[in-house]
């Protein structure tokens, strides 16, 4: 079995040409894989938020967006101009909310609406941080690692795709 690889000049020229083209196509490979990661992380975030479900509207509002080489994932739901994801994540200070949405939520949870409304007026709402929980889950970490691997494999595969088995040792 040979212990050296022999490359002919045309092979090296193809690789050199592919490497030069790769810079122009890099973003394409990265963005495609980020879109896939965004779908996966959106799914995981929906699962994480479901523990605090009331109507499901917050879960349904979770989207992912790739802009350039940046992936953004999160809920977009608003309620009276307030960001519902931010309210769930951080909680609120004392404030006077409209009674009707509080009544519906309290009824859903089997709690007395008046007492819940008064507690929000006096103490605010408790935070239910979901972002850190969603991002620190093992399946999220695996998805991120697999995405990085896929990006690397796409870049390498693009560079060497035309050479096929020429890099494999010859059978004796």
For residue 12, pLDDT over 90 is answered with no
86 and 121 within one domain: no
CB-based contact 103:113 (threshold 8 Å): yes
The boundaries of the domain holding residue 18 are: 9-90+138-167
Q: Please say whether the dihedral angle defined by the alpha carbons of residues 13, 17, 20 and 23, taken in this order, is positive or negative.
A: negative
112 and 36 within one domain: no
86 and 96 within one domain: no
Task: Give pLDDT, residue 19.
Answer: 82
pLDDT tens digit string along 19-53?
Answer: 888 888 889 999 999 999 999 999 999 999 998 88
Task: Give pLDDT, residue 55.
Answer: 87
- What is the SS3 assignment for 124? coil
81 and 100 within one domain: no
pLDDT tens digit string along 117-171?
Answer: 999 999 999 999 999 999 999 999 999 999 999 999 988 888 777 666 555 455 5
Q: Which two tokens stand for residue 156?
A: 């390498």
Mean pLDDT, the chain, rounded, equals 87
Lowest mean pLDDT among 82-91, 108-117, 158-167: 158-167
28 and 73 within one domain: yes
Is 4 within a domain? no
Is 121 within a domain? yes
76 and 50 within one domain: yes
Total number of domains in the chain: 2
């Amino acid at each position: 079995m040979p212990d050296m690889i022999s490359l002919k000049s045309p092979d090296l020229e193809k690789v050199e040409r592919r490497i030069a083209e790769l810079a122009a196509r890099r973003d394409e490979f990265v963005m495609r894989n980020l879109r896939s990661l965004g779908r996966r992380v959106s799914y995981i975030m929906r699962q994480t938020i479901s523990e605090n479900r009331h109507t499901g509207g917050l879960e349904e509002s979770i989207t992912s967006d790739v802009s350039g080489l940046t992936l953004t994932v999160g809920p977009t739901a608003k309620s009276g101009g307030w960001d519902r994801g931010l309210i769930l994540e951080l909680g609120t200070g004392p404030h006077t909310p409209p009674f009707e949405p509080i009544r519906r939520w309290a009824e859903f949870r089997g709690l007395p609406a008046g007492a819940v409304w008064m507690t929000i007026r006096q103490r605010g709402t408790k935070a239910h941080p979901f972002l850190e929980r969603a991002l620190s889950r093992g399946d999220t970490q695996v998805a991120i690692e697999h995405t990085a691997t896929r990006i690397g494999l796409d870049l390498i595969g693009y560079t060497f795709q035309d050479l096929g088995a020429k890099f494999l040792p010859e059978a004796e």
